[in-house]
Structure 1
């Protein structure tokens, strides 16, 4: 009985090791894929891409070091951040222009709705007048 238990334990240990190695391989592939696509390297992104849990990534010392390193490299420091004043100005100008267009659109739609309501009212008055005079509306 001891031999069977030892054998089963060895089989389970081998299976657990193979499962862990498969998860590690999947996580490494996920990191490479995220880097290749230029996406942020985070525990959540790697876990989602590889189909592994955050706990697995945190518990693996090598994967954890690699993800933390890549995550820290992706964050630009304020001194290393390029000057974006030109593009910021363009974005602000376009945002203001969009807001103006939205406001004008809202005003035009309100005016059109008011005109439509007035036309419906006039149409209703004319139908009533025709009915009062005895003419059948066509």
Structure 2
């Protein structure tokens, strides 16, 4: 398990994981627990499950944040279009007044 692998699975940058104060220590703890145990046949499944859980914990909040950002972008675009329309009206009024 590498930070690069987890970042790729979660769809984020490695820099994001390195700077994340909650997730990075969990990854490091999981790494230590996996490194400190002997390789038994049933351990890879447990380790894969733990890694999968960690990836889900990373991706769920990110999906929510991305959704919120998309909604904010849509609202901002609408506001920008409205502002452009108002500017056009004001420019026309100014031109007609001269």
Task: Give secondary structure in 1 for the equivalent of 2:44.
Answer: coil
For the pair 1:86 / 2:50, whether they are aligned, the reply is yes
| TM-score of the superposed pair, with normalisation by structure 1 | 0.37
CA RMSD of the aligned region, Å? 2.3
Instruction: Please list, as runs of the form range in 1=range in 2, the aligned pairs for 1:55-134 lying within 5 A after superposition.
Output: 79=42, 81-84=44-47, 85-134=49-98
Higher normalized contact order (CA 8 Å, seq sep 6+, divided by chain length) = 2
Instruction: Please list, as runs of the form range in 1=range in 2, the aligned pairs for 1:39-58 lying within 5 A after superposition.
Output: none
For structure 1, which runs of at least 5 residues remain unmatched after alignment?
A: 1-75
**1:78 CA displacement:** 6.2
Deviating runs (4+, > 6 A) in structure 1? none
Could you give the per-residue CA deviations for residues 14-48 of structure 1, whole angstroms, max 9, x where no partner exists?
A: xxxxxxxxxxxxxxxxxxxxxxxxxxxxxxxxxxx
For structure 2, which runs of at least 5 residues remain unmatched after alignment?
A: 1-38
Alpha-carbon distance in 2 for matches of 1:109, 1:121 = 18
For residues 86 and 128 of structure 1, do their structure 2 counterparts lie closer, same or farther at Cα, with a shift above 3 Å needed? same
| TM-score of the superposed pair, with normalisation by structure 2 | 0.51
Alpha-carbon distance in 1 for matches of 2:77, 2:41 = 51
Alpha-carbon distance in 1 for matches of 2:53, 2:96 = 64
**1:93 CA displacement:** 1.3
**1:87 CA displacement:** 3.0
Q: Based on CA coordinates, which of the two structures has the bigger radius of gyration? A: 1
**1:109 CA displacement:** 0.8
**1:81 CA displacement:** 1.9
How many corresponding residue pairs? 59
Alpha-carbon distance in 2 for matches of 1:103, 1:94 = 15
